Amino acid sequence: MAYYWFKSFHIFGVVAWFAGLFYLARLFIYHVEAEMEIEPAQSILKKQYSIMEKRLYNIITTPAMILTVAMAAGLLYTMPDYLHQGWMHAKLGFVGLLLFYHVYCGRMIKQLEAGECQWTSKTLRLFNEGPTLLLVIIVMLVIFKGQFPTGATTWLIVALTISFLATIQLYARKRRLDKEKEVAESAAATTEQALQS
């Protein structure tokens, strides 16, 4: 019975942890894009994003990560044979990468608040795809364990996933270019008004 309790709360933790990571990376993008705004909007947005990032990281994402890891330890305690299986070693390796990503997000919050982040919104969009790829790999390892499929269906799903990620990147690029065009037009209009005065 303990196994089912651990598993239930492990799933709750995973869902909340990934929700936090997905939204956190999106806030990073907005935070960096706030640089393109004019004052006072820029300062207001950057301050608000800093508050949102810290609260999301400290109140939701980190506790969810702790719950996930604690319940995983409980699962492995109840099913110690899993520790002798290759798929579990691979899964734990990818979870290690996810933990590194989580810690790096905490570091990025501090960099953004101090104005020291060198990442562009474009690179942050790629950074945002990290947990998505890890989630897909980890779930596939858990579902298929040592019998990972390599047939046509698998490659179709991989192709669909890649096209989905590419579509997101193209849409983000379009939005960024539209925003840059809007800012340039606004600046040109302001300059023209100033010259006419």
Q: In Å, how far are 15, 31, 114, 170, 183 from 121, measured between CA atoms? A: 25, 9, 17, 13, 16
Q: What letter does residue 80 receive in the DSSP assignment?
A: G
Looking at residue 191, its pLDDT comes to 79
Which segment of 13-27, 80-94, 102-116, 177-191 scores lowest on mean pLDDT? Answer: 177-191
Q: What letter does residue 38 receive in the DSSP assignment?
A: P
pLDDT of 186 strictly over 90: no
Cis amide leading into 40 (omega within 30): yes
Q: What letter does residue 34 receive in the DSSP assignment?
A: G
Averaged pLDDT, 44-73: 94
Handedness of CA 110, 115, 119, 124 (dihedral sign): positive
Q: In Å, how far are 32, 99, 120, 132, 152 from 65, measured between CA atoms? A: 25, 8, 27, 16, 35
Q: pLDDT tens-digit profile of 23-34? A: 999 999 999 988
Looking at residue 27, its pLDDT comes to 93
Looking at residue 189, its pLDDT comes to 79
Q: In Å, how far are 65, 66, 134, 178, 195 from 29, measured between CA atoms? A: 22, 25, 20, 16, 35
Check: CB of residue 27 under 8 Å from CB of residue 54. Answer: no
Structure confidence at residue 152 as a pLDDT band (50, 70, 90): confident
Looking at residue 93, its pLDDT comes to 93
Averaged pLDDT, 14-31: 94
| C-beta atoms surrounding 75 within 10 Å | 19
Mean residue pLDDT across the chain: 87
Retrieve residue 172's tokens: 């983000």
